[in-house]
Chain A
Amino acid sequence: MDRRAMGTYVGAVYAALVYAFLYLPIGVLVALSFNNSRLNAVWQGFTLDWYRVLWHDRLILEAAKNTLIIGFTATIAATMVGTLAAVGMYRYHFRGKSVLDSMLYIPIVIPEIVLGIALLAFFALGKVPLGLWTLILAHITFCIPFVVIVVRARLAGFDQHLEEAAMDLGASPWQTFVKVTLPLIMPGVVAGALLAFTLSIDDVIISFFVAGPGSTTLPLKIYAMVKQGVTPTINALSSILLLVTLLVTVTAEAIRARAH
């Protein structure tokens, strides 16, 4: 073997090892969710018992319901606000644009914990009781910037003449937006919405501070359960959440790939 082929070979092995590092822990976790043993380390046979346990756990079902309510509400609101913002910021130059820009970057770049306690302080001093609503408001807040970025990326290749043509033909700004702009940027909007949804259903840090008693979400429930100790039920719950995220990610990537 010459040196070059040798190098390629070593490279492939190294890459394979890194992929194993990325996927093995998750794979083991999913496999153990079907393991017929409480001990959670040695394979004892196949079972769906842990999924059945989940299905009969009232608190987990409640948390799942909350997660979905928050996820859908936050996604819809953040996608609307974020899409409009991306369009407005792409088209117009105005005073204060860089201020708005920085305000959108802040939630992305500062450690999440800072926004979490800031919102906690805000709700506490404003005497807003913590619960489902504070979770929804917080989730909308951290989702908006991501929607703006994704939609803006889509707008980068946008032909402004199409909008001008529609306006020249007598369409109102609203009609132009709905009939011309929106269909053209739709793949970006959908991708942004899917990103917002996964961010929402997976969020731990910000939710941790703004959740109230009786308004727990699945990630918060998993966090509390892991603190109590490792159980096969957590494996099953985690596997379901991983599957949902995987489906959403693959859908988003497929949309992005088709749009290009």
Chain B
Amino acid sequence: MSGEEQSRTTQEEKRRRNWVPVWTLAPVSLWMVLFVAVPLLLVLMVSFTKRGTYGGIVYEFTLENYARFFDPLYFTVMSNSLLVALLTTVACILVGYPFAYIVARSPRRYRNLLLMLIIIPFWSSSLIRTYSWIVLLRTEGVINNVLLSAGLIHEPLALLYNLGAVIVGMTYTLFPFMVLPLYASIEKLDCSLLEAARDLGARPWQVFRRVTLPLTMPGITAGSLLVFIPTLGLFFISDLMGGSRTMMISNLIQNQFLTARNWPFGAALSVILMIMTLILIGLYLRSTGSKEKLEVV
């Protein structure tokens, strides 16, 4: 084979190989543009339009949908949502941290099984898991029945339809999202560092505050993000377990699109929700400097 011939074949080869990305990447690019980018841009557009008299959209530029958000009525809904998200995140950390620590420090041969037992509920339907708590908590529910027949109470307790119930439901649903990143960061923890701290005379609490906690902070932040954000969107939990006073932003959006038929306002609320999410993720990425840590699945 002469040199010229060889260079031609390699060039041909190169062209042939470079052609590959087109058929591997074209479908996904088209799909994501058509069904993610375009719809999200449409929402952005609708959020600046006016509501028609019969619930349609009038294509006239306005900022009033965003102004409406600062109405005290809707502002309460927003602060309510943030409160629920915050309390859920704190509950997940408080229950999840010691738990993840115990699992990560358990004998190696059990560790995979223990981890698997955390992942299984994470794969099952969050609606069904929410429903299972309704079965337990409602007035004629299992917990009230047990307490009544044990003679501990004489009247059923109002366990459902309040803020506490919503937080229990959210915590139950999102718990694995907290435990998995915590587990990952605790398992990586170098035990010799803890021993060194102890040898230098640190008390158990000091070891935890000064060594363990800072080193596992990436797990806490990742877990908090993975819990906090979905809390804002899980409308069926507050819908089914909350009372009339625990309306969250997700319920408000759902209402605007289905019952109130005010799409422009609903769209503006969604844009606000999306911007909040992106800010949180941006802050997170800046604090860790990489994208990979978000992947716990």
Q: What residues make up the interface of A, taking CB atoms closer than 8 Å to B?
A: 11-12, 14-15, 18-19, 21-23, 25-26, 28-29, 32, 39-42, 80-82, 84-85, 87-89, 91-92, 94, 100-101, 103-107, 109-115, 117-122, 125, 137-138, 140-141, 144, 146, 148-150, 153, 167, 172-173, 177, 195, 198, 202, 204-205, 208-209, 219, 222-223, 226-227, 230, 234-235, 238, 241-242, 245-246, 248-250, 253, 257
Contacts and interface: CB of A to CB of B under 8 A. Distances in A.
Contacts, number: 251
Q: By CB atoms of chain A within 10 A, which of B24, B38, B277 has the most? A: B24
Contacts of B39: 115, 118-119, 121-122
Interface string B34-72: 011111101100100000000000000000000000000
B205 interface: no
Contacts of B263: 121
Contact of A122 (B25, B35, B117): B35
B98 interface: yes
B281 A109 contact: yes
A230 B138 contact: yes
Given A100-B32, A103-B36, A115-B36, 10 more contacts: A15-B102, A25-B136, A85-B25, A109-B277, A122-B35, A141-B31, A144-B32, A167-B13, A198-B124, A248-B123
A28 B132 contact: yes
Nearest to A26: B132
Chain B interface, >50% SS class = helix
B95 interface: yes
B12 to A, nearest CB: 12
B153 to A, nearest CB: 14
Contacts of A94: 21, 25
Nearest to B133: A25
Contact of B135 (A25, A113, A250): A25
